[in-house]
Amino acid sequence: MRHPVLSCVLLALIACGDSSAPDAAAGDSATAGPIPPATLGADTMVSAGGWRCTDGSVWNVTVWQGPGARIALSSTDTAYVLPQQPAASGARYVDSTGTVSWWTKGDSATLERAGRSAGCGTASDVEF
């Protein structure tokens, strides 16, 4: 079953793409260059992929950089958008209540929810 929040995020990405990119459908394929990264306002999507955590949860994680730097975490039953916070090392994202956080460094991360912590790693077999 596909996750409705993830579908909405993907639709938003498609709708909010860079309008300055050449339109290959208009017959201008000779001048079309590489596809630019997805943008949303002044922010750019820099990565998206699957993660698996020691608590058994599986997440699709999308990272946005820019003035509104944030990540979007989505699983089959829940989703979070966490703004980036200052970190001594790696990248740390925390919700407005401080109850959910994602702290990543390299290919590992720590997910904290409801006072519990789980280690997470990238997983190429995660699909939603």
Counts of helices then strands in the chain (DSSP H, E):
1, 9
Q: How confident is the model at residue 1 (pLDDT cuts 50, 70, 90)?
A: very low
- The pLDDT tens digits for 37-86 are 677 678 888 899 999 999 999 999 999 999 889 999 999 999 999 999 99
Other beta carbons within 10 Å of 118: 15
Domains of the chain: residue spans and CATH: 4-16+42-122 (2.40.128.200)
Residue 51, token pair as written in the block: 């993660």
Could you tell me which residues come within 8 angstroms of residue 42 by beta carbon, excluding any fewer than 6 positions away? 66, 67, 68
- pLDDT of res. 29: 46
- Top pLDDT among 13 and 25 is at 25
Q: What is the value of pTM for the model shown?
A: 0.68
Residue 126 confidence class, pLDDT cut points 50, 70, 90:
confident
Buried b / exposed e across 64-86, counting CB within 10 Å, b at 16+? bbeeebbbbbbbeeebbbbebee
Q: Is the pLDDT of residue 112 over 90?
A: yes
